[in-house]
Structure 1
Amino acid sequence: MIEVKSLVKKFGSTVALDGISFTIGGGSVFGLVGSNGAGKSTLLRSLAGIYRPENGEILVDGQAPFENSAVKSRLFFISDYPYFFQQASMKEMADFYSKTYTSWDAQRYQELCSLFPLDTNARIINMSKGMQRQVALINALSVRPSYLLLDEIFDGLDPVMRQLLKKLVSSEVSERGMSAVIASHNLRELEDLCDHVGLMHKGGVIFEQELDTLKLGIHRVQAVFKPVPAQDAFQGLDIIKQDSRGSLLNLVIRGQREEILEKLNALNPVFIELLPLTLEEVFISEMEVAGYDIENILK
């Protein structure tokens, strides 16, 4: 389990993380989303033990990761720009990690190499961005970490490799109980993979919630009324957003599906339909409710 308690991280006078708190359980996939500069990468580096918090604490299975080799041996962090030794080949990096991590699984490494179309003797510096991420993933999963921290891992991967990544991470979570924390702007990919999500903005966490609960608690409604009811007819509904095009109303409503339908059907609509929201639509709605300017969010 990862516990983040009132965490503060500063760079000079800039507050990168402003008292954030949340918990990531074992055997789960936690997605971090937010605008550029929200603090996602800083948080991942703090979880990996690279940064020392100014205030608050991070506990990984009850221990702080900073300058703690025992904790770090159970973590593997892939940054948004994966690091490799200058002029190193994939095989040479594998040799390094096999000597660094006692949990290195040589058989797993060979299995993963057979899945990814890479030349293990080629210099990594000459590979594309997507191929370099594949190299980092092979090494990470061969270590068999308890906690896998990924920063913008989908960037540069083609659709086939993205699907393979999701399959591999999911199998590690289900079969070994590994936990993964993934920061990404690609909400569509996170929606397929994560069971918990956290929305960050300006160094804080706006909310952290189980994905299914989050999506079930908010609905997009399309309804046709003739005539359109007066606004006070919708009292009792927690309407987050509303717009109309003639007799067609588009509503985003928070609440239980059955209660929403019951109240709207009482207004005798000609047509009514509840549509599923995408993860991006949910987050935009939550940002608007929180009073934030969403123009530069989730780009």
Structure 2
Amino acid sequence: MIQVNNVVKTFDGFRALDGLTMSVEGGSIYGLVGPNGAGKSTILRHIMGVYRPDSGSILVDGQPVYENPAVKGRMAWIPDDLYYFLSASTRDMMRFYRGLYPQFDDKRYQALRDAFPAVDEAQPIRRLSKGMQKQSAFWLSLCCMPDIMVLDEPVDGLDPVMRRQVWSLLMGDVAQRGTTVLVSSHNLRELEDVCDHVGILSHGKVLLERSLTDLQDNILKLQVAFRDGELPRLPEELNVLHVTQVGRVHTLIVRGSPEEIKGRVAALDPLFLEALPLSLEEIFIYELGGEDYAVRDIVL
């Protein structure tokens, strides 16, 4: 389990993390989402022990991460900007990782060669394309047999077939080994397919974190039409986040219990009433509507 408690980090007077608190359950896939500059990469670097917080704490199974080799030896990280020794090949880095990670699995390295057939393991990684470099990173990281995988924009640059291959391998490790995966990505559609829990960041804080099911069950999109074409006065009890109109059809985004929302709107005697599921992308936009007014005017 990863526990982040009230972490503050300031760079040259700019507060990148402002009392950030989050919790990642063991054996889950946790999606970290937020706008550019929200602090996603910064908190991932703290969780990996690269940065030391100005205040607050970061614990993995109750142990601090910073300057703790025993904890770091259980974690693997694929950052957005990959770095390897200048002339190192995938095979060279395999030997290097073998010396760092006590659980490194040579047999798995050989087996995963078939999963990444396009990667020339003798070629210097820096000479590979961006997509090939990402494949190499996954190949090496999966062989480290980590208890925790921390991923920052992990499949950026991969083609659709390889994206599916990588997620299949990750989910296999979650199911079979109980691996914990913490992933930050702007590809919300992809996260929606794989994540158990989601945390939404804004301005260095976690606005909310819930299971994806609970998140989707707590916000509803309704399409309604009325006889005179006008939207009547809505009950004050409804927590309406957004209203748009196309022709005679009004689209309402409402936070709360779906059954209660539908019941209150149905009492207004609409000609047409339909409840639609919201995607993670839509939830992200409307949850951030209260934080940044400019987001509210996006029409989906």
TM-based fold match above 0.5: yes
Q: Distance in 1 between matches of 2:235 and 2:246?
A: 17
Match status 1:252 vs 2:266: no
Give the Å deviation of 1:266. 2.2
* Cross-structure match for 2:216: 215
Amino acid at match of 2:198: V
* Cross-structure match for 1:194: 195
**Mapping of 1:145-160 within 5 angstroms?**
145-160=146-161
What stretches of structure 2 of length at least 5 have no aligned partner?
none
Contact 2:242 2:296 in 1 (8 A): no
* Cross-structure match for 1:58: 58
Give the Å deviation of 1:233. 4.3
* Cross-structure match for 2:7: 7
* Cross-structure match for 1:25: 25
* Cross-structure match for 1:232: 233
Amino acid at match of 1:33: V
* Cross-structure match for 2:145: 144
SS in 2 for 1:10: strand
Change over 3 Å in CA distance of 1:230–1:155 after alignment to 2: closer
Mean CA deviation greater in 267-276 or 178-187: 267-276
Q: Deviations over 1:73-114 (max 9, x none)?
A: 001111111111111111111111111111001111112111
Amino acid at match of 1:84: Y
Q: Deviations over 1:244-275 (max 9, x none)?
A: 23421111111222222222222222221111
Q: Distance in 2 between matches of 1:90 and 1:161?
A: 18
TM-score of the pair, normalised by structure 1: 0.94
Give the Å deviation of 1:232. 2.6
Q: Distance in 2 between matches of 1:286 and 1:232?
A: 23
Change over 3 Å in CA distance of 1:204–1:296 after alignment to 2: farther
Mean CA deviation greater in 274-283 or 7-16: 7-16
* Cross-structure match for 1:127: 128
TM-score of the pair, normalised by structure 2: 0.94
Change over 3 Å in CA distance of 1:250–1:230 after alignment to 2: closer
Contact 1:153 1:184 in 2 (8 A): yes
| Number of positions where the alignment pairs a residue of Structure 1 with one of Structure 2 | 297
Q: Deviations over 1:169-206 (max 9, x none)?
A: 11111111111111111111111111111111221211
Q: Distance in 1 between matches of 2:231 and 2:160?
A: 47
* Cross-structure match for 2:264: 263
Give the Å deviation of 1:291. 4.9
Contact 1:35 1:296 in 2 (8 A): no
What RMSD, in angstroms, separates the aligned Cα atoms of the two structures? 1.8
Contact 2:27 2:180 in 1 (8 A): yes
* Cross-structure match for 1:74: 74
Q: Distance in 2 between matches of 1:296 and 1:123?
A: 47
**Mapping of 1:172-191 within 5 angstroms?**
172-191=173-192
Change over 3 Å in CA distance of 1:295–1:223 after alignment to 2: closer
Amino acid at match of 2:278: L
Q: Distance in 1 between matches of 2:174 and 2:180?
A: 6
Mean CA deviation greater in 35-44 or 225-234: 225-234
SS in 2 for 1:86: coil
Identity percentage of aligned residues: 44
Contact 1:287 1:293 in 2 (8 A): no
Q: Distance in 1 between matches of 2:123 and 2:234?
A: 68
Change over 3 Å in CA distance of 1:295–1:111 after alignment to 2: farther
Q: Distance in 1 between matches of 2:71 and 2:293?
A: 37
Q: Distance in 1 between matches of 2:92 and 2:225?
A: 64
Q: Distance in 1 between matches of 2:266 and 2:14?
A: 51
Q: Distance in 2 between matches of 1:264 and 1:180?
A: 40
Change over 3 Å in CA distance of 1:51–1:19 after alignment to 2: same
Give the Å deviation of 1:229. 6.0
Give the Å deviation of 1:212. 0.9
SS in 1 for 2:201: strand
SS in 1 for 2:112: helix
Contact 2:285 2:296 in 1 (8 A): no
